[in-house]
Amino acid sequence: MIMQTDRVMPVLSCASLLAFWLLDFLTLQPNRIVPGTGYSPDAALGWPWALGVSALLLLSLVTSFPRLRAKHALQLLCVILLLIQLPLSLADFNTAHIPDTLPHARTGIASGFWLLLFFAALMLIELQQKMHLSRLSITALLMLPLSCLIWVTYTGQIESLALVREYASRSSQFQDALQVHLLLVCGAVGFSLLLGFLLVLLMRHWPVVQKFTFGLLNFIQTIPSLALFGLLIAPLGYLASHSDFLQSINVSGIGWAPALIALIAYSLLPIVRNIFIALEEVSDAVLESAKGMGMSRIQVFLQVRLPLAMPVILEGIRITSIQAIGLTAVAALIGAGGLGSFIFQGLGQAAMDMILLGALPILVMALLADLLFSGLAGLFRNGAKQ
């Protein structure tokens, strides 16, 4: 019997070690304008911290080769401990390297830190697949490093972190941008879901509508998002200039209106496709059994066809939500607001921390949407099996 060797974990472990030792781990800036000074892991954290991180990576590398019964569990433990160490290392660096004589000094996260976090995430995904862990289990494990991050933030141990300082100086703007971003995403997904159901019902009654609808929606997907935003400026501006009602609700060529319309247009294809496929693939035998039990047409649809189709429908909502969360950032270019405004301001000022202030919440929202709708789809699948 040939013993298969794990190749992914050794590669990720070696890449993590190289990134950790060959690149700067953290930077120190006297203020927002002056470029930061890079610190290697031993200089930033001291040898005990640096050797502790290296030991975890080496352990995940060594355990990849022997045929141990619990090697994946040991590797998972190493990854979780590594993720716990990262926020603690930020707190330790702030305490040791930022003097009281530099009140505006800030800590920057260098490329070595980001790559280590990236490789740790890849190792976590690999271990989830090999150990067949549910997303709920992985989420529960990630609460440990997340709780550690919340603790060092709440206690003020990383208040000099550049990202934290950017948030502190723009907290009210950030909250407004987050609210606008969520409203645009929820509005786009909600309207596309409603229109999607109406279009699917039309396609099921008039098959000739199906080809036209899918052709139009596929064509919309080929238009670049920024181009579609631009195409809506002229007609909406014209309509707003000739309508007092549209002006009263702040509809114009720029702002929330063209952003919402474009987001709905992009969201319709995955919604319509998944709803149509989900409803069509319900077994005819199940539907005939429901009719034989005396159910009316509406009862068959609401109590049998729709619940069985829900996992696929939720998958379409998941894809749509993640797509809308990302595309809403681009809408900031036409004055729609949202977290994308921080990204483009940061690009204009070459301020990486401001870019992260807009990009990281978008990433978190996308991950939460993926987790939420994947979990709901799993519940409906389990209910259908029972």
Domains and CATH numbers, the chain: 8-167 (no CATH), 171-385 (1.10.3720.10)
Name which of 363, 250, 376, 369 is nearest 319 in CA terms. Answer: 369
Cα 235 to Cα 188, 223, 226, 231: the distances in Å are: 20, 17, 16, 8
Averages of pLDDT over each 10 residues, the chain, 386 residues: 63 91 89 81 86 88 71 88 90 81 81 92 89 83 90 87 87 92 94 92 85 89 85 84 79 84 91 90 81 81 84 91 92 88 87 88 91 84 65
pLDDT of residue 156: 84
Instruction: Give me the helix-helix angle, 340-349 and 352-385, nearest 10°.
Output: 150
Distances (CA, A) of 250 to 4, 144, 237: 63, 45, 11
At residue 6, the pLDDT reads: 67
> Would you say 317 and 369 are in contact if contact means Cβ atoms under 8 Å apart?
no
Contacts of 37 (CB under 8 A, 6+ apart): 27, 28, 29
pTM given for the model: 0.85
pLDDT at 185: 94
pLDDT of residue 3: 43
Which tokens is 320 given? 């749509």
Three-state SS string across the chain, please? CCCCCCCHHHHHHHHHHHHHHHCCCEEEECCCCCCCEEECHHHHHCHHHHHHHHHHHHHHHHCCCCCCCCHHHHHHHHHHHHHHHHHHHHHHHHHHHCCCCCCCCEEEECHHHHHHHHHHHHHHHHHHHHHCCCHHHHHHHHHHHHHHHHHHHHCCCCCCEHHHHHHHHCHHHHHHHHHHHHHHHHHHHHHHHHHHHHHHHHHHHCHHHHHHHHHHHHHHHHCCHHHHHHHHHHHHHHHHHCCHHHHHCCCCCCCHHHHHHHHHHHHHHHHHHHHHHHHHCCCHHHHHHHHHCCCCHHHHHHHHHHHHHHHHHHHHHHHHHHHHHHHHHHHHHHCCCCCHHHHHHHHHHCCHHHHHHHHHHHHHHHHHHHHHHHHHHHHHHHHHHC
Give the model's pLDDT for residue 66: 66
